[in-house]
């Protein structure tokens, strides 16, 4: 019996070793052959090109750093083609322009081909076997001249093409773009009334020629060049819609045809964010081109434009937003500091001025150090989608802070409350610890507001141009300087309660915008669902996006404001 147990134990151990070895080999093989998905990098690169095109160079550099970090996450990034990508990124970081970014795109394509070697002949064979038979049937239907049968067969052919388009796209992006454009133009000719079978046949022949050229290995002729992004496509659709509404059908068709021509360049920005919308655009745009004078088609185009605006990443805050944040936070610190200065003047203790000044300067320096640390470490701890998650969450936190700040401001909007607030701080500084208290209070007033300001700016910096950001800060500083001069000379006459009341409502408006942009940014990366409300418009400058989730969040926000205002009014009556 003992021998039998030993025999079984020996055999079992041997089997376990063999199984472990097999699983280890399989695991290593799976790790080494894991598919490299570069789609997120291409989307990020497209966003960088958009920032450069809009002269947001600083933001483009931050995103380029993120792209470089994301690329190094691939275990294969040190391959021959991977090193070429790294070199292209380094050159772009030194000389950032559209040309250097295009070199990164080319290097990424080469890296993708290196990691996924393509059997060109096998791909062409699959195309010839799966796609061409449906196209041959389509040409037969065109020759027969039965429009309904042509439409039915085109839909069948298009479905088969969508299922097998990688057999062309993976081999030649140029041919893929030309075929997509030719198919859209063929669809337009089919949907145009009155029907012109000669024109339909001519468009089908163009597509046939492209298929034969691709299969024979001829070099594709690149007809559309340039750096296009989703915003360019939306602009073309908007211009086309305007032309259709004005009765200029030819111009409308020209604009939408141009959109079709650049579609292969920008389609990745749509398909990865909203696959359903991608399908709608490919199927509906050709029909709209053919029937653009029809009101229903114009309405369909309007809905498509609205849906595209929902997923367009290039949304921005303005100079006014940047100014309002610093103005509000700076004013609170300024009021505390000026209260201390006034108290020192009344008490005839000028030696305390330097302590107040020291606290202010130290608070400013500490705020600047925090800002630099944030600027240095924030890009490294958050990249790609993670950055947008942090932006969205920080934005929502900022909105909660705005509600609490609004309550504080409201409580200071009466003369009695404001006078009580001043007496509290002056008494604390002048009677509990002398000049050290003056230094501490002025430091904390400035640093606390500086920290809040930085938190607000974290949420908006990625979505505001450097020019608007700088102008907003400059304008806020200028206004604060003017206010400080007025307060020094005529502190009694300054309408502080009115200023607080005005700032309260301006802050609430800013909070409405930040909430909308933050929720929408989380929708774009899939952290929140996105359900579009077709009957509502998108108003970007106020942060209103026509989705169920953003509208619901903003309704809750407005309800919270109303309840807080009501609560403060009841508190004042009881007092």
Neighbours of 69 (CB within 10 A): 13
My answer on whether 240 and 330 are in the same domain is no
Q: Which two tokens stand for residue 575?
A: 């007092």
Residue 89: which domain range? 39-115
Looking at 285, 311, 337, which one is the last position of a domain?
311
My answer on whether 343 and 484 are in the same domain is yes
My answer on whether 135 and 278 are in the same domain is yes
Looking at 100, 115, 130, which one is the last position of a domain?
115
pLDDT tens track, the chain, 575 positions: 444 434 444 443 444 344 334 434 334 334 444 456 777 787 778 778 777 777 777 878 888 888 888 888 888 888 888 888 998 898 888 888 877 888 888 888 788 777 777 778 888 888 889 999 999 999 999 999 999 999 999 999 988 998 888 888 878 878 888 888 889 889 989 988 888 999 999 999 999 999 999 898 887 665 555 667 788 889 999 999 999 999 998 899 889 988 988 888 788 778 766 777 888 888 889 889 988 889 999 999 998 988 888 776 555 677 888 888 788 777 767 776 776 676 667 666 677 778 888 888 888 888 777 766 665 555 444 444 455 566 667 667 767 776 776 666 556 555 556 556 556 655 655 554 456 766 776 777 677 677 667 767 766 766 677 778 888 888 888 888 888 777 766 654 556 566 666 767 777 887 888 788 888 878 766 678 877 787 777 777 788 888 888 899 999 999 998 888 888 778 767 76
Write the DSSP string, 309-368.
Answer: HHH-------HHHHHHHHHHHHHHHHHHHHHHHHHHHHTT-GGGHHHHHHHHHHHHHHHH
- Domain assignment present for residue 345? The answer is yes
Looking at 115, 143, 171, which one is the last position of a domain?
115
Q: What is the pTM of this model?
A: 0.48
My answer on whether 153 and 66 are in the same domain is no
My answer on whether 281 and 389 are in the same domain is no
My answer on whether 287 and 335 are in the same domain is no
My answer on whether 423 and 442 are in the same domain is yes
- Domain assignment present for residue 30? The answer is no
- Domain assignment present for residue 457? The answer is yes
My answer on whether 167 and 106 are in the same domain is no
My answer on whether 298 and 329 are in the same domain is no
Which DSSP state fits 218?
P
My answer on whether 107 and 133 are in the same domain is no
- Return the percent helix, strand and coil in the chain, to nearest 5: 80, 0, 15
My answer on whether 493 and 521 are in the same domain is yes
Measure the CA–CA gap between 233 and 259, rounded to whole angstroms. Answer: 6
- Number of domains within the chain: 3
Which DSSP state fits 469?
H
- Domain assignment present for residue 6? The answer is no
- Domain assignment present for residue 491? The answer is yes
- Domain assignment present for residue 327? The answer is yes
């Amino acid at each position: 019996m003992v021998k039998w147990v030993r025999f079984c134990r020996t055999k079992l151990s041997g089997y376990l070793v063999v199984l472990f070895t097999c699983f280890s080999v399989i695991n290593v093989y799976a790790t080494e052959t894991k598919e490299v998905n570069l789609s997120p990098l291409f989307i990020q690169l497209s966003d960088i090109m958009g920032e450069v095109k809009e002269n947001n160079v600083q933001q483009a550099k931050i995103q380029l750093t993120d792209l470089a970090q994301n690329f190094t996450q691939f275990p294969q990034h040190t391959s021959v083609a991977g090193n070429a990508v790294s070199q292209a990124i380094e050159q772009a970081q030194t000389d950032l322009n559209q040309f250097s970014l295009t070199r990164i795109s080319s290097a990424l394509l080469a890296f993708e081909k290196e990691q996924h070697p393509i059997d060109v002949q096998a791909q062409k064979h699959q195309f010839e076997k799966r796609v061409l038979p449906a196209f041959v049937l389509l040409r037969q239907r065109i020759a027969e001249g039965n429009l309904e049968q042509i439409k039915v067969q085109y839909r069948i052919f298009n479905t088969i093409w969508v299922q097998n388009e990688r057999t062309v796209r993976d081999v030649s992006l140029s041919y893929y773009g030309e075929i997509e454009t030719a198919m859209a133009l063929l669809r337009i000719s089919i949907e145009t009334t009155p029907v012109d079978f000669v024109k339909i046949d001519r468009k089908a022949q163009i597509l046939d020629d492209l298929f034969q050229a691709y299969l024979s290995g001829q070099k594709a002729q690149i007809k559309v060049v340039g750096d296009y992004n989703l915003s360019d496509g939306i602009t073309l659709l908007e211009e086309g819609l305007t032309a259709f509404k004005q009765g200029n059908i030819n111009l409308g068709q020209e604009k939408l045809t141009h959109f079709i021509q650049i579609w292969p360049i920008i389609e990745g920005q749509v398909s990865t964010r909203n696959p359903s919308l991608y399908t709608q655009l490919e199927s509906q745009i050709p029909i709209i081109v053919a029937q653009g004078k029809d009101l229903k088609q114009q309405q369909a185009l309007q809905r498509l434009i609205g849906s595209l605006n929902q997923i367009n990443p290039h949304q921005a805050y303005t100079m006014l937003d940047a100014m309002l944040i610093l103005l509000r936070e700076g004013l609170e610190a300024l009021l505390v500091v000026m209260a201390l200065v006034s108290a020192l003047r009344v008490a005839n203790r000028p030696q305390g001025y330097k302590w107040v000044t020291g606290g202010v300067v130290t608070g400013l320096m500490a705020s600047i150090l925090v800002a630099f640390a944030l600027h240095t470490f924030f890009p490294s701890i958050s990249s790609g989608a993670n950055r947008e998650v942090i932006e969205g969450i920080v934005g929502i936190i900022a909105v909660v802070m705005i509600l609490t700040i609004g309550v504080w401001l409201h409580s200071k909007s009466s003369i009695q409350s404001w006078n009580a607030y001043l007496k509290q701080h002056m008494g604390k500084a002048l009677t509990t610890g002398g000049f050290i208290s003056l230094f501490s209070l002025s430091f904390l007033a400035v640093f606390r507001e500086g920290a809040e300001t930085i938190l607000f700016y974290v949420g908006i910096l990625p979505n505001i141009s450097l020019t608007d950001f700088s102008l907003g800060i400059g304008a806020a500083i200028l206004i604060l300087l003017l206010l400080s001069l007025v307060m020094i000379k005529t502190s009694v006459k300054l309408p502080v309660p009115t200023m607080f009341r005005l700032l309260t409502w301006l802050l609430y408006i800013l909070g409405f915008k930040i909430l909308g942009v933050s929720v929408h940014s989380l929708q774009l990366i899939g952290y929140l669902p996105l359900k579009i409300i077709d009957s509502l418009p998108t108003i970007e400058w106020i942060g209103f996006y026509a989705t169920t989730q953003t509208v619901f969040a903003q309704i809750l926000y407005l309800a919270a404001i109303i309840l807080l205002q009501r609560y403060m009014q009841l508190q004042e009556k009881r007092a």
